[in-house]
Amino acid sequence: MTPATRDFYPEIEPHSTELLDVGDGQQLYVECSGNPDGKPAVFVHGGPGGGTSPAVRRFFDPAAYRIVVFDQRGCGQSVPHVADAVGGSNGTAGVLETNTTSNLIADMERIREHLGIERWLVFGGSWGSTLSLAYAQAHPARVTELVLRGIFLLRRSEIDWYYNDGASHIYPDAWEGYLAPLAPADRGPSVDKVTAYHRLLHSPDPEVATAAAIAWTTWEKSTSYLINTPEKTAGAEDPRYALAFARIENHYFVNHGFLDEGQLLRDVGRIARIPGVIVQGRYDVVCPARSAWDLHRAWPAAELHIVPDAGHASFEPGIRTRLLEATDRFRTR
């Protein structure tokens, strides 16, 4: 039975914000809100390259949680921002070359240590679930619980499904927009479109790069909700946002996420004793339910909730409700 839907906690403002130097010329935007003496929880955003928004604070009871939110390298309010880089060894490539999964894990540890946190709840969806799993497997003693949504294990089959043809059978109209920037020779089913997009996103012609970034970002925003509306795709046409989102995502995908194939399932034993909740939309096209099921089978201690009337987005009512139930349950552990 689908539970009655829950609304978010009220809007709140952070009580501290800063740019934290994590090395490599990178400064990460970090904010804390809620109860300074509460249970620590860190929100791990998606993309990679998606950045955060004030709304994500509302997944946590502000009276119970010390809510830590940060923007990963190259996006959001962190600096340098990928959209501000212009080619060359000190430009886009220079900003992206240190943007790796292992460095993001190290960044999370720097944030935790800087804030004087011993252990924290880790909350992430989509790519945020990938990074949350990778972090927890690297530092299981630092994680009290995992709350994960829209599971993405960064396996080749998942990339091929969404970026190389599978999802086109469900969204053929949006797929045409995704194919539009590509040369005709790069549109066929046998072509790796992630590689083709990589060339466009790093074109020396800023108009070419921006058009490709907007098309890539629009594809994801147009397929994230069970029922999509123009308001839900808003922001995809913002060049600054789209360039960071598309370039960073694509950078990770052409590099296989800097993970071994199947690594997150292979190493799931490292988190076997960490309590977890997995929330998955039944009709998630971006990160289909197969991955959530595979993770649950490998990690049976984690609860799996498949929401019957939802797609990918964390803000859909059924997914939002299950996530709030999870953070409410864990606030007193």
Query: Quick one: which H or E segment has residue 293?
Result: helix 289-298
> Cis bond leading into 14, ω under 30°?
no
Nearest alpha carbon to residue 110 among 199, 175, 18 = 18
CB atoms within 10 A of CB 256: 15
Q: How many other CB atoms sit within 10 Å of the CB of residue 11?
A: 10
Altogether, the residues listed in the chain come to a count of 333
Q: What whole-number distance in Å separates Cα of residue 235 and Cα of residue 241?
A: 7
Position of tokens 């490599």? 24
What is the b/e burial string over 67-88, where b = at least 16 CB atoms within 10 angstroms of the residue's CB?
Answer: bbbbbbbbbbbbbbbbbebeee
**Number of other residues whose CB lies within 10 A of the CB of residue 289:** 18
Residue 126 falls in the annotated catalytic set: yes
CA distance 280 to 46: 15
Of 33, 78, 126, 314, the catalytic one is 126
> Residue 236 has what DSSP assignment?
T
List 81, 168, 312, 314, catalytic entry: 312
Catalytic: 284?
yes
**324 touches 8 (CB < 8 A):** yes
The active-site residue out of 198, 284, 305, 314 is 284
Q: Compute the distance between CA of residue 71 and CA of residue 63 in angstroms, rounded to an integer.
A: 23
List, in sequence order, the alpha helices (H) in 139-278: 156-163, 172-179, 193-201, 206-222, 239-254, 263-266
Active site residues: 126, 284, 312
